[in-house]
Structure 1
Amino acid sequence: MAQSKRETERKYAAPAADDIAWLPDLTGVDPVASLVDRGIEDLDAVYFDTADLRLARSSATLRRRTGGTDAGWHLKLPLEGDSREEIRVPLSEEVPDSLRDLVASRTRGAPLRPVVRLRTTRSVRDLVDTEGGTLAELSLDTVRADSLLGEDHHAVWTEMEVELGEEGDPALLDGIEKVLAKKGIDRAKSPSKLARALAETAPDQYGAPEAPPRVAPGSAGEHVCAYLREQARALVELDPAVRRGTPDAVHRMRVTCRRLRSALRSYRLVLDREATEPIRTELKWLAGELGAERDHEVLGDRLRTGLRELPGELVLGPVTARLTAWDAAQRAEARRRTLDALASPRYRELLERLHELTTRPPLRAKAARPPEKVMVKALTKEYDRLRRRMVPALELPPGSERDTAIHQARKAAKRLRYAAQAARPALGKPARRLGKRVKAVQKVSGDHHDGVVARDTLRRLAVAAHTAGESAFTWGLLHGQERASASAREEQLPVAWRRASRARPDRTYR
């Protein structure tokens, strides 16, 4: 069974591992009271990657390690700052399927193979407080790296790691680093042992980065391509969290799909439509598959909250039991759709296309133009599309036709918001203000749409309850509350729209 933990550490260049006379006294770093020697470990790790090192290039590592206290398979995924998530699986001969799945968005289906072997002699010391609690672990390592990529290359070096304990304060690492710096002990140049091993034993494979896209500096194309790379990277990095059911991961991946799809539509002046439309189609498919789980999550939370807030005397019949059964059945089916989508060849092909898009973007001639012209024109076009939908929607009387029109306007608001988000680094405060005000329109119309969906579900639950001989009173009451909430949102929407219209691009960027 896989185990996961957050690992926060810093690596330093060490003069030697067998003679520690150079190591400064760290007991002056509050709250370190002493260093406890834990002895020496011999570690043997084989790192796995694709032939073109796709894991290493995305700052992920997968290894099979023996020796020490944590023998097994270790997958490390990057987090912010000095932190990584380490996922451990018990030792086996082959790469565990669970870990193979978690790196699939990075490997894009390419086979995994051994790429380097690291044998480390590690001297370990615990940094403890006055009560004997472990604050951090200090390791002095002598490392030998041997390439497994067909070349008989090896490298040897020493280094020091300081890894924060589970309850340790990140400020402790800063205090330790100040003491080390005064003694001339600097951070290691490589972010990990694997990165250094590959740089020294396989410089041809690892040292040659993929050619960056040829985009004019400061141009609209540069800004659009940077945004696309950011979103494509986010999709890849969210994949493992979605597979493991991490809270909010499905929502974030779905939003990332929408951002990518919207950018490809909004900035057709920059990118060749013939090349990007197939990608937009596949992004729409993936967002739809993810949407089943995300939409149910939102709807389930909304219904449970509404029921929970009712006084007990208004809950008549087995309402909670029926809602729980409905939730379990719908949630299981939605989860299956998510996992099936991520396991499909169609998804792997999408990842390949996104990689191709971000490394060799199909730029049009206008991509070389200044963003003040190209991106403002794109924003204006998206604003006009939103206006053409929103104004008629607000003039309709309450009812299903108005509900549908508001929902369509909401989609246009999302596209404008994402276009403004992509333009923000280039256009600054006006794009940020536009995005913020359009987000308010999107939120009010989104709450309205969620209420429409909730009312439809409540009606079906009420019918099912009535058919089973149960009271439908509570379902009807919740339905009425949703209708009242929708009326309130319809009153708020014109106000939000007026504020957004005052930030319209053709006025702001004159």
Structure 2
Amino acid sequence: MGAKTVHEVEYKYEVGPAFSAPAWDRLAGVAEVTAPRTVTLDAVYYDSDDLRLARNQITLRRRTGGHDAGWHLKLPVRSDERLEVQRPLNDSAVPPGDLADLVLIHVRPSDLRPIAKITTERTVWRLRDAGGRDLVEIADDQVHSATFGSTTELQAWREIETELIGDTDPKILDLAGRTLIEAGAAPAGDASKLARVLGTSPRPTSTDRGRTRLRGRSPAGAVIRAYLVSQVDALVEADPRVRLDEPDSVHRMRVACRRLRSTLRTFAPLFDPDVAEDLAGRLRDLASALSGSRDREVMLEHLTAELAALPADLVVGPVAEHIAGQLTADLARSREETLAALRAESYLRLVTDLRAFVTTPYEGAAARPARDVLLPLAHRAGHKLARRVTAIEATPPGPARDLLYHQARKQAKQVRYAAEALVPLYGTDALAVAAFAEQAQNLLGDHQDAIVATGLLRRWAAQVSHERDGDPLTYGVLLGIQISRLRAAERDFAALWSQLRRSPVRRWLR
């Protein structure tokens, strides 16, 4: 993509015109304060007319002045933490296509327009330790802003920012903050300068919406909606990370898809059947588009680690290069497929429809008390898992039983996600069920991964055998490891399942 990414941790404080900066060299751990440096920063911010980026705590700007002049996109991570994606400054007033792509889930490129300009007269100090290492940057900002549109609103204020540098211990920001407050500063009421200019509040997250305590008498729809909202949030938050190819981002998005789809199926009586089935099908298609990237990534890591652990005399030929070549090529193709899926109109419509779905009124079973409706539906998922395990126990080893293990794995996920959704009502009992189901899911996942790996290794061994001077020895060794891994997963799963006789989880699953 050519973009530079920066992890930003900063705190902001409001100060008056007469505020006097404290003596920073008295701060614990600070041995030196650099001479002040003043720079003028001019930033034009872009958003849709209805401020969809700002309401999701996202900022997109073109800034001149300072050492990092250019296009900046800031994505929320946690409170006071953001991921900043930077592109070099150019002469265009149109946001770069790759940055527009990162916010496509919120706003189309054609809808982006300048919404405000902020000019900052910034005076900067850096705090250093005894070794001369930069710890914190202190910025004293004199700010002037103007909104664009049918009317123009002007503001002016002063604020202090403290930003962590490198891998410095974040505790120093707390020390700096206490020093500022003792000197008369106050924590800023807005997360960013733009939020103050626009008067926008962040879009409520699932956590915010979950603060109303859910009880047994709460509508069943309210309990399940809270879980669905959290997973829509997770999907939306993962979207730009997948586009940036961040580690584990595809996995997080795929899990959000699975949780949403599983919840729609487990608690189907609460929803309009046609709408829920349509959404579940589209979520399945999205998860499938994400699966190739994730599955190949996991397989590459797994086989590379197992190969590295083999004695040198068992590694014959360029096995590592061959495996990496096969899976890396597949991974590149899968990534292109994933990005194509995320840029498709069908995906954008799915996200829009999911957001609308979680705001629909409660009707029918969804309006009844949660204690009367939800537990039997969760138990139904558990009973189905138990039937899958009984079928496994009655089936001899072979492809048919392997398929049953795979089906049991998917059912264990459904039990886990159902229990997670009911944690607000059933607390530690639901957590125990979710933990048990996760253990089962992981063991059955090991089983399925070993089956997939054996298929790949047999194919690669056959390819090598047909090559001149090829020796399939190492592939055979790896194949044996996979078969042992498969049998171990079966034994461990049987042992886990036998624990149900002594576990309170049993009533959810039998």
Same structural fold, with TM-score higher than 0.5 when normalized by the shorter chain: yes
Opposite residue 438 of structure 1, the aligned amino acid is A
Within a 5 Å distance, the mapping from 1:107-506 to structure 2 comes to 107=107, 111-199=111-199, 206=200, 218=215, 219=218, 220-358=220-358, 360-361=359-360, 363-469=362-468, 470-500=470-500
**Offset at residue 119 of structure 1 (A):** 1.3
8 Å Cα contact 2:12-2:161 kept in structure 1: yes
For residue 69 of structure 1, the aligned residue among 67, 70, 79 is: 67
CA deviation map 1:137-184 (0-9, x unaligned): 211212122111322222222111111222422111111222222334
Could you tell me which amino acid in structure 1 is paired with residue 138 of structure 2? Answer: L
- Alignment correspondent of 1:14: 15
The letter of the residue matching 1:136 is V
**Structure 1 501/155 Cα, relative in aligned 2: closer, same or farther at 3 Å?**
farther
Seen in structure 2, the aligned counterparts of structure 1 residues 491 and 24 have a Cα distance that, compared at 3 Å, is same
Check conservation: 1:271, 1:362, Cα contact below 8 A. no
Over the matched positions of the two proteins, sequence identity in percent amounts to 38
Distance 1:259 1:208, change over 3 A: closer
Structure 1: gaps (5+ residues):
200-205
Map 1:1-80 → 2, pairs under 5 A: 1-16=2-17, 19-21=18-20, 23-80=21-78
Say what the alpha-carbon RMSD is for the aligned residues: 2.5
Q: Structure 1 residues 28 and 434 mapped into 2: Cα distance closer, same or farther (>3 Å)?
A: same
Contact 1:410 1:441 in 2 (8 A): yes
Q: How many residues align?
A: 499
| Pair 306,420 (structure 1): closer, same or farther in 2 beyond 3 Å | same
- 1:489 Cα deviation from its structure 2 partner: 1.6
Deviates more, 1:299-308 or 1:247-256: 299-308
User: Is the contact made by 1:140 and 1:159 (CA closer than 8 Å) also made in structure 2?
Assistant: yes
Indicate if the aligned counterparts of 1:441 and 1:500 stay in contact, CA closer than 8 A.
no
Distance 1:149 1:121 in 2: 24
Q: Secondary structure at the match of 2:180?
A: helix
Amino acid at match of 2:488: A
Q: Secondary structure at the match of 1:191?
A: coil
Structure 1 residue 207: deviation in Å? 6.3
Deviation at 1:76, TM superposition (A): 0.7
Distance change (3 Å), C-alpha of 1:508 and 1:343: closer
Please list every run of 5 or more consecutive structure 2 residues that lacks an aligned counterpart in the other structure.
none
- In structure 2, relative to structure 1, the CA distance for the partners of 1:209 and 1:252 (3 Å cut) is closer
Structure 1 position 478, deviation (Å): 2.0
Distance in 2, Cα, partners of 1:158 & 1:468:
72
Q: Return the offset for 1:11.
A: 0.7
CA offsets, 1:104-158, max 9 Å, x none?
A: 1232666211111111112222223344432212112121221113222222221
| 3-state secondary structure, aligned to 1:104 | coil
What CA distance in whole angstroms lies between the structure 2 residues aligned with 1:39 and 1:403?
Answer: 67
2:56–2:203 contact (8 Å) kept in structure 1:
no
Cα separation, 2, equivalents of 1:107 and 1:265: 30
Distance of aligned partners of 1:263 and 1:337 in 2 relative to their CA distance in 1, 3 Å threshold: same
Q: State the TM-score, normalized to the length of structure 1.
A: 0.92
User: Contact between 1:141 and 1:158, CA under 8 Å: does it hold in 2?
Assistant: yes
> 2:478 corresponds to which letter in structure 1?
L
Cα contact 1:272–1:363 (8 A) shared by 2: no
Structure 1 pair 128/307, CA: closer, same or farther in 2 (3 Å)? closer
TM-score normalised to structure 2 length? 0.92
Aligned partners of 2:116 and 2:145 also within 8 Å: yes
239-248 or 366-375, larger mean C-alpha shift = 366-375
User: Please, which moves more after superposition, 440-449 or 368-377?
Assistant: 368-377
Task: Check conservation: 1:213, 1:361, Cα contact below 8 A.
Answer: no
Note closer, same or farther for the CA distance 1:399–1:506 as it changes in structure 2 (3 Å cut): closer
Kept in 2, the 8 Å contact 1:126–1:138? The answer is yes
Higher mean C-alpha deviation, range 123-132 or range 445-454: 123-132
Once residues 125 and 501 of structure 1 are traced to their aligned partners in structure 2, the CA distance between those partners, rounded to angstroms, is 65
- How far residue 274 of structure 1 moved from its aligned partner, in angstroms, is 2.1
- The 3-state SS of whatever aligns with 1:376 is helix
Task: Report the alpha carbon displacement of residue 395 of structure 1 after superposing the two structures with TM.
Answer: 2.0
8 A contact 2:38–2:124 mirrored in 1:
yes
CA distance in 1, matches of 2:274, 2:362: 11
* Matches of 1:482 and 1:167, distance apart in 2: 40
Q: Verify the 8 A CA contact 2:214 2:425 in the aligned structure 1.
A: no
2:351 and 2:404 map into 1 onto residues whose CA distance is 34
Find the residue that maps to 1:157 and give its secondary structure: strand
How many angstroms apart in 2 are the aligned matches of 1:224 and 1:157?
44
Letter paired with 2:350: L
Contact 1:145/1:154 (<8 A) preserved: yes
| Alpha carbons 1:45, 1:64 under 8 Å: kept | yes
- C-alpha deviation, 1:208, in angstroms: 11
